[in-house]
């Protein structure tokens, strides 16, 4: 025998869940509308909002070349693209922004097989570009680490970033 009170409690619970779900959907729709409004009013319209690396479907050597040139770009003695990258991705892993003074970046070529290398006396940033899904070579990262150790960098001075799809 089912008691009336149990059915009432069950219906109240179902009603509460349904109300919560509808409120969540409403909040999501309001957020979506606000995001659409921000996007519509943003000055960052194409070509500024285009991912050129994806758009041109460039090969990994070309994307590495572009990234090296972006990192090497200077404005008023600063490297804004590299500093932004370091702030966003490296700082939380022990990289200190005050280390960035005059980064050494070979814009035109890989450095000893390293796709992108940014270095100064305090750090060596090794970036391996796998944006197009290339396979790793046997001991690839170990070779890069050994290269930088041979140049006097300790393990605590090395930062390794792998760019993936």
Instruction: Tell me the average pLDDT across 147-161.
Output: 96
Query: What was the pLDDT predicted at 164?
Result: 84
Burial of 16 (0-12, 13-18, 19+ CB in 10 A): exposed
What is the average pLDDT score of the chain?
83
**pLDDT, average across residues 12-34:** 70
Q: Burial of 161 by CB count in 10 Å (0-12 exposed, 13-18 middle, 19+ buried)?
A: middle
Instruction: Count other Cβ atoms within 10 Å, centred on residue 165.
Output: 7
pTM of the full structure: 0.67
């Amino acid at each position: 025998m089912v008691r009336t009170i149990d059915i009432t409690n069950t219906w109240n619970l179902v009603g509460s869940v349904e109300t919560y779900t509808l409120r969540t959907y409403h909040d999501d729709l309001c957020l979506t509308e606000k995001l659409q409004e921000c996007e519509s009013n943003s000055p960052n319209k194409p070509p500024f909002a285009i991912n050129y690396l994806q758009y041109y479907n460039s090969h990994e050597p070309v994307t590495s070349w572009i990234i090296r040139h972006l990192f090497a770009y200077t404005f008023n003695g600063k490297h804004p693209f590299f500093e932004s990258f370091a702030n966003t991705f490296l700082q939380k892993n022990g990289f200190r922004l005050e280390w960035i003074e005059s980064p050494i970046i070979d814009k035109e070529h890989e450095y000893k097989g390293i796709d992108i290398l940014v270095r100064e006396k305090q750090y060596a940033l090794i970036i391996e570009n796998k944006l197009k899904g290339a396979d790793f070579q046997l001991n690839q990262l170990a070779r890069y680490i050994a290269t930088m150790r041979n140049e006097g960098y300790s393990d605590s001075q090395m930062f390794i970033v792998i760019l993936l799809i």
